[in-house]
Amino acid sequence: LTALREELRGKILVDVSNATLDGPDGLPADLLYPGSSLAEQLQEALPETHVVKTLNTMLFPVMTAPATLTQPPTAYLSGEDSLAKQTVHELLVDLGWHKDWITDLGGIRTARATEAAILFVPHVIRSSGFTPFAISIAR
């Protein structure tokens, strides 16, 4: 993406991915950036872009249909720019996320935690199958 540095200057880049190394079964087995995160790598490569990490702690169907789960899911936000996070928060609400289901974790470094949570996912899939779920906080 560094080739697009000028085009992305001042824009919001929503990172919904997890940088992992796959195991023999094709499921995430390890982190590509231990001690960091893909979101941090993107922010470093694109310093004038507002990177916001979100929606990476769930199976993809939940991203745009959170109310399909039997329990309220949590969408986490990580990023340095509060206005960018507020914009992404509003976009999530437009997608059906209730405001109280969205948790701002703080700066971009907090994306390390949500990206590391992906290592939990293969075990859930192996035990329960490929059914929609989200890693959430029970309150």
Number of domains present in the structure of the chain: 1
CA distance 62 to 81: 25
Considering the domain boundaries, does residue 22 fall inside one? Answer: yes
Residue keyed to tokens 């470093």:
44
pLDDT digits (tens, 9 = 90+) for 9-60: 999 999 999 999 999 999 999 999 999 999 999 999 999 999 999 999 999 9
Residue 46's pLDDT is 97
Predicted pLDDT of residue 67: 95
| C-alpha distances out from residue 1 to 17, 41, 47, 48, 122, Å | 14, 11, 12, 12, 28
Rounded Cα distance between 21 and 94, Å, is: 32
Q: Which domain holds residue 11?
A: 2-128
CA separation (Å) from 130 to 14, 24, 58, 60, 80?
25, 17, 11, 11, 33
Q: What percent of the chain has pLDDT over 70?
A: 100
Single pTM value for the model: 0.94
Residue 66, SS3 per DSSP: helix
pLDDT at 137 over 90: no
Question: What does the pLDDT look like over 102-136, one tens digit per residue?
Answer: 999 999 999 999 999 999 889 988 898 889 999 99
In a domain, 81, yes or no: yes
Residue 133 lies in a domain: no
CATH number of residue 86's parent domain? 3.40.50.720
Of 130, 128, 74, 133, whose CA–CA distance to 104 is shortest? Answer: 74
Inside any domain, residue 52 = yes
Residue 138 inside a domain? The answer is no
122: in domain: yes
- Average pLDDT of 60-86? 96
* Structural domain includes residue 134: no
pLDDT at 94 over 90: yes
Instruction: State the pLDDT at residue 121.
Output: 87
**What is the per-residue burial (b if ≥16 Cβ within 10 Å, else e) of 115-134?**
beebeebbeebeeeeeebbb
Work out the average pLDDT over 94-102. 97
